[in-house]
Amino acid sequence: EPLKVLLDRFDAQQSGSRRGSITLLTLDTVRNGLQNGCIDVFFQPKVTVPDRRLAGVEALVRWRAEDGRLIPPIAFLPVVEENGLIDELTAQVFQIAVSAAAGWVKDGLNIKVAVNFSVESLNRFDLVDFLIDTAREKGIDPDKLILEVTESRIMEEVTTPLEILTRLRIKGAGLAIDDFGTGASSMQQLKRIPFTELKIDRAFVAGAPTDDEARAMLESSIALAKKLDLSIVAEGVETQEEWDLIESLGVEIVQGYFIAKPMPADELLAWARANGDVTA
Ligand code: C2E
Ligand code: MG
Ligand code: MG
Ligand code: MG
């Protein structure tokens, strides 16, 4: 029986699928698709507050089904992670992302690119050389890269991910703690891992205008990040009200539908031009 997962708000325009529930891809589909070009990558702007300049992008994986539909990560990442296929996915996403970044540089847009890493993909020491070499081959310096890691399960694998992340940091890559506030281990991780950026989960942003508890979490996360000298990104800003609140709290960078949705690499360039970020 196919498993169903809930779709939050993966946009119909992007995915062709309706809101509600979506069927997890099968292991066969995932295995075949990974070898046959089904991995696609969209890019979502991160902008500075309050001037809305492009600060960088986050690369977000999509599955391009045979009929052209786009399928969101929630429908295949669990299958990938649970079946030992995450290294393959990570490698493809990273290669596509740095290729896109190199293309933008040729068009006069030189920005940081953030890529998401599952903890499972931070278990091989050859990852460091692979990432640095792949980026350098395309002419992208390590300091243009940000690795985003969600806190949820990183504590289970104690030493290897920490060492890999630290080595990448030493080479100049940025490290973001993603979905901050949603996992029990946030504080522990902040102490152990040399993060450069803290991404506050959308739940706290969305709740903050009306919910005192969400607001308290938001404000204390911001205070903590400032004390630790981390840059702060508010995720999932959807409304003017949320933007205004985030601005009043002194957050430096915003990512969310209020500014732009994730989009293909060529659209990102057009978006940046329209936004005045391309000088060449
Ligand atoms: P994430 O890293 O926290 O990425 C942000 C997610 O929030 C993205 O969902 C993005 O489309 C969505 N988002 C951005 N702005 C808004 C907004 O204003 N409102 C709402 N409702 N959502 C917004 P997406 O692309 O479905 O990705 C979901 C998660 O899948 C990501 O969360 C990340 O944990 C994971 N993921 C995505 N790409 C990759 C990848 O290449 N590798 C790995 N390992 N994980 C990935
Ligand atoms: Mg992320
Ligand atoms: Mg996040
Ligand atoms: Mg997330």
Ligand 1 binding pocket mutation candidate from 116, 121, 147 (most atoms within 8 A of CB) = 116
pTM above 0.90, yes or no: yes
- How much distance in Å is there from the Cα of 60 to the middle of ligand 1? 6
List phi, psi (to 5°) of 107: -95, 15
| Residue of 103, 114, 33 lying closest to 70 (CA atoms) | 33
8 Å CB contact between 215 and 195: no
Q: How far apart are the C-alpha atoms of 43 and 185, rounded to whole Å?
A: 28
CA-CA distance, 231 to 198, in Å (whole number)? 6
- Nearest bound ligand to CA 5? 1
What torsion, rounded to 10 degrees, do the Cα atoms 221, 227, 231, 233 define? 10
Alpha helices in 138-211, H assignment, sequence order: 159-170, 186-192, 202-207
Task: Give the span between the Cα atoms of 55 and 49, in whole angstroms.
Answer: 10
Output the residue whose Cα is nearest ligand 1's atom 22. 236
- Res 18: pLDDT: 45
Q: What is the pLDDT of residue 160?
A: 84
- Please tell me the residue having the least CA distance from ligand 1 atom 9: 60
Q: What is the pLDDT of residue 191?
A: 80
pLDDT score, position 11: 45
Q: Whose CA is nearest to atom 15 of ligand 1?
A: 256
Q: How far apart are CA 259 and CA 280, in angstroms?
A: 23
pLDDT at 101: 98
**Per-10-residue mean pLDDT, the chain, length 280:** 42 43 89 97 98 98 93 94 95 98 97 94 92 98 96 62 94 94 74 92 90 91 94 96 96 97 98 92
What is this model's ipTM?
Answer: 0.98
Q: Which residues line ligand 1 (CB under 6 A)?
A: 8-10, 44, 60-61, 72-73, 77, 93, 116-118, 148, 150, 178-179, 202, 235-238, 255-257, 262
Protein residue closest via CA to atom 13 of ligand 1: 236
Specify the pLDDT at position 154: 54
Atom of ligand 1 nearest to the CA of 262: 11
Distance 280 CA to ligand 1 centre (A): 30
Residue 123 pLDDT: 87
